[in-house]
């Protein structure tokens, strides 16, 4: 984890809204926060009922900030990301009362057509499988030029020029620009996907497990690239990963989800060193620490609930060692502490430091993130 006493290179980042050539959307409030998500509820319709995949999630993302989303598989991370740009499967619905405000503009009531203005131009997504996101029969350069031409209305010549600039920005030399996707390595393909995500110069880039399929060294390079782009372009990042050390190394804030809800959210330096929510504590305990004995790894007993029919009250109650009678009946309210950490747990009825269940625990960087964060690798970026 970074030493808070050292000056952070991100401090020099120019916020994206001060740098871009075009104006903010017409209804934008220039004083509004970049992104404010409130009570987001995204459900999927099945014959048997509604899957409450995301059920009352709120968070903010500031200019130039990186927010890491973590939680067990199936807790709603991807659904949260897809809701931002409404790229949901057919049976997905964002329910009434949810709001996703970008520059103060609520995207939830926008029609599909109105959303075109925001998708890729303001918020873009980098998915895990680069091969699935690229068209195998079109040269990489042309695939990157296309969104520039179609969405920004630029000419063939200037969109190709822009594609070459973008490839250069992500570290793909111009001599490789006419390659087809299968002619590039996995890391190069993921770089190309990042170039596509940057094509329209968005304010926010969401990475949904963007490095999961890559080996440790390439993963380190891609994370380093995202970090550098954030600094140079003033981007805001939402990084979804099951690897807590990636969040520890690259993010300012962490949002821990459990069964479609926020368990804990706050500065990485607090959430990862003094986790308050029993689920966060278990999640950190289940994560390998390079300094500790492998046998000390904890397992979280049981499994997450069926989101078609989640338990009333706290959804973690069936697995929680601190469970109390109230937990099975009443949904725990979110409480924000003085250090900016927000927790939804009945153990904390008043916001105070060192409340019950708080413990000190640390996450160590893996070899990959340690390599990405090393001064040598930053210098060669």
Ligand X SMILES: Nc1ncnc2c1ncn2[C@@H]1O[C@H](COP(=O)(O)OP(=O)(O)O)[C@@H](O)[C@H]1O
Least distance CB 355 / ligand SF4 (angstroms) = 11
Instruction: State the burial class of residue 157 (Cβ atoms within 10 Å of its Cβ: 0-12, 13-18, 19+).
Output: exposed
* Phi then psi dihedrals of residue 37, to 5 deg: -105, 125
Least distance CB 119 / ligand X (angstroms) = 19
Choice between 147 and 332, CB closer to ligand SF4? 332
316 binds ligand SF4 (CB under 6 A): yes
* Phi then psi dihedrals of residue 123, to 5 deg: -130, 125
314 binds ligand SF4 (CB under 6 A): yes
Q: Are strands 105-106 and 92-94 parallel, antiparallel or unpaired?
A: unpaired
Rounded CA-CA distance 159/152 in Å is 9
**Which residues, numbered 261-300, are part of the site for ligand SF4 (CB under 6 A)?**
278
Rounded CA-CA distance 290/202 in Å is 36
Retrieve residue 320's tokens. Answer: 């929680």
Q: Applying CB under 5 A, which part among 72-80, 144-152, 241-249, 358-366 lies near Mg ion? A: 72-80
221 binds Mg ion (CB under 5 A): no
For 233-285, give the DSSP string: H--EEEEE-S-HHHHHHH-SEEEEEETTEEEEEEEHHHHTTS--SHHHHHHHH
Q: Give the count of residues interacting with ligand SF4 (CB under 6 A).
A: 13
78 binds Mg ion (CB under 5 A): yes
69 binds ligand SF4 (CB under 6 A): no
Choice between 71 and 234, CB closer to ligand SF4? 71
Rounded CA-CA distance 186/172 in Å is 12
Least distance CB 40 / ligand X (angstroms) = 12
Least distance CB 125 / Mg ion (angstroms) = 12
* Contacting positions for ligand X (CB under 6 A): 44, 46, 51, 53, 71, 73-79, 89, 91-92, 307
Q: Are strands 261-267 and 342-344 parallel, antiparallel or unpaired?
A: antiparallel
Which partner from the list Mg ion, ligand X, ligand SF4, none does 188 bind, CB cut-off 5 to 8 Å by kind? none
281 binds Mg ion (CB under 5 A): no
| HSE-up of residue 294 (Cα within 13 Å, Cβ side) | 0
Retrieve residue 184's tokens. Answer: 């590039």
Which partner from the list ligand SF4, Mg ion, ligand X, none does 89 bind, CB cut-off 5 to 8 Å by kind? ligand X
Least distance CB 279 / ligand SF4 (angstroms) = 6
Q: Applying CB under 6 A, which residues contact ligand SF4?
A: 278, 314, 316-317, 320, 322-324, 327, 332, 345-347
């Amino acid at each position: 984890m970074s030493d808070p006493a050292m000056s952070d290179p991100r401090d020099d980042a120019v916020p994206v809204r001060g740098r871009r050539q075009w104006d903010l959307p017409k209804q934008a409030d220039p004083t509004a926060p970049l992104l404010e998500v409130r009570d987001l509820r995204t459900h999927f319709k099945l014959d048997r009922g509604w899957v409450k995949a995301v059920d009352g999630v709120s968070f903010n993302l500031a200019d130039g900030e990186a927010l890491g989303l973590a939680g067990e598989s199936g807790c709603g991370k991807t659904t949260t990301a897809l809701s931002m740009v409404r790229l949901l499967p057919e049976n997905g619905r964002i329910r009434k009362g949810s709001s996703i405000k970008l520059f103060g503009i609520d995207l939830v009531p926008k029609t599909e057509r109105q959303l075109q203005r925001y998708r890729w131009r303001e918020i873009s997504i980098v998915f895990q499988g680069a091969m699935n996101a690229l068209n195998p029969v079109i040269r990489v350069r042309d695939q990157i030029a296309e969104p520039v031409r179609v969405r920004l209305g630029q000419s063939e010549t200037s969109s190709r020029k822009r594609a070459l600039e973008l490839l250069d920005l992500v570290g793909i030399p111009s001599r490789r620009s006419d390659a087809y996707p299968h002619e590039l390595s996995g890391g190069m393909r993921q770089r190309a996907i990042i170039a596509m995500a940057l094509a329209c110069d968005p304010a926010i880039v969401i990475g949904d497990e963007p490095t999961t399929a890559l080996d440790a060294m390439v993963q380190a390079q891609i994370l380093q690239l995202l970090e550098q782009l954030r600094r140079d372009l003033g981007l805001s990042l939402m990084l979804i990963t099951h690897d807590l050390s990636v969040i520890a190394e690259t993010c300012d804030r962490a949002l821990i989800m459990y069964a479609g809800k926020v368990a804990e959210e706050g500065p990485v330096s607090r959430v990862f060193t003094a986790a308050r929510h029993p689920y966060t504590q278990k999640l950190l305990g289940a994560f390998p620490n390079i300094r500790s004995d492998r046998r000390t790894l904890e397992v979280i007993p049981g499994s997450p609930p069926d989101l078609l029919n989640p338990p009333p009250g706290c959804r973690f109650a069936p697995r929680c060692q601190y469970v109390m009678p109230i937990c099975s009946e009443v949904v725990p309210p979110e409480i924000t502490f003085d250090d900016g950490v927000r927790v939804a747990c009945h153990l904390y009825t008043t916001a105070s430091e060192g409340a019950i269940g708080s413990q000190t625990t640390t996450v160590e960087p893996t070899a990959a993130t340690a390599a990405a964060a090393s001064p040598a690798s930053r210098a060669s970026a």
